[in-house]
Amino acid sequence: MSDSSQPVFSCKDVHVWIADKEVVKGVDLEISAGEIHAIMGPNGSGKSTLANALMGHPAYTLEGTVKLAGEDVTSLSPDEKARKGMFLAFQYPVAVPGVTVASFLRAAVSAVRGTETPVREFRKELLSRMEDLAMDPAFAGRYLNDGFSGGEKKRLEILQLLMLKPRFALLDETDSGLDIDALKVVAEGINAAASQDVGMVLVTHYQRLLNYVRPHVVHVFMDGRIVRTGGPELALELEERGYDWLEPAAAGGV
């Protein structure tokens, strides 16, 4: 049994390699239930590598410790981590022609919950969550990400988040490619999930998502490390000043 006093997610001294290149160079994080952390940094700093490696992507080699609700999940596969309650929204979701959104989501929900969800119950829940995200019900019958716009792909990622109800979610560049209306809808979904005591990390390059999703903690990520940590005001400072004033060598850690 997990201890409710434990962070919902933590990682300690995480290093990540792609082949023989070290991309993430020692990261510590602790996220409590209902808490939103933002990781901001310039392109190429290693943010997405960190998110994918924490979820167990086989292309990356991770050293360090990853815990979910106090349980060591470092060596688990992505599907095992998903069943434990971890979730990753991809920066570039893949298309799966021939598999409908509804079929995919029902299979995913059943796998994570460990039991078949009755069709009528599933459909009612799905349509309710789609309404929350201003999605046409016909969307459920389309093939997964096949011909989807950028905004549709990101809405689907948030729909998955609301349906799967994870303990902890990593959202990688969820705001990329969204117009302002889609951004607001996606932000409402993120806020709704966080209000259900989901711990979250938002990986983003820009501050604009944080106009609608207020993080509790902001981390600045550069050259594979967290170089500064602060409150929401740090995101505003980054928007005004960029990243050049925070040189990794000069910042010297958190």
Can you say whether the dihedral through the CA atoms of 192, 196, 198, 199 is positive or negative?
positive
pLDDT at 226: 96
Measure the CA–CA gap between 83 and 131, rounded to whole angstroms.
26
Q: Which residues pair with 220 in a beta bridge?
A: 40, 228
Q: What integer is the mean pLDDT of 237-251?
A: 73
Measure the CA–CA gap between 68 and 26, rounded to whole angstroms.
18
pLDDT at 240: 85
**253 pLDDT above the threshold of 80:** no
3-state SS class at 215: coil
**2 pLDDT above the threshold of 50:** no
pLDDT tens-digit readout, 150-164: 788 888 989 999 999
Q: List, in order, residues 6 or more apart from 239 with CB less than 8 Å away.
A: 206, 207
Residue-level length of the chain: 254
**250 pLDDT above the threshold of 50:** no
**228 pLDDT above the threshold of 80:** yes
Can you say whether the dihedral through the CA atoms of 191, 192, 197, 198 is positive or negative?
negative
Q: What integer is the mean pLDDT of 13-40?
A: 95
For the chain, percent of residues with pLDDT exceeding 70 = 94
Measure the CA–CA gap between 166 and 88, rounded to whole angstroms.
10
The torsion defined by the Cα of 53, 59, 64 and 69, in degrees rounded to 10, comes to 40
Q: Of the candidates 137, 174, 138, which has an alpha carbon nearest to the alpha carbon of residue 153?
A: 174
Q: Is 9-95+166-251 a CATH 3.10.20.30 domain?
A: no
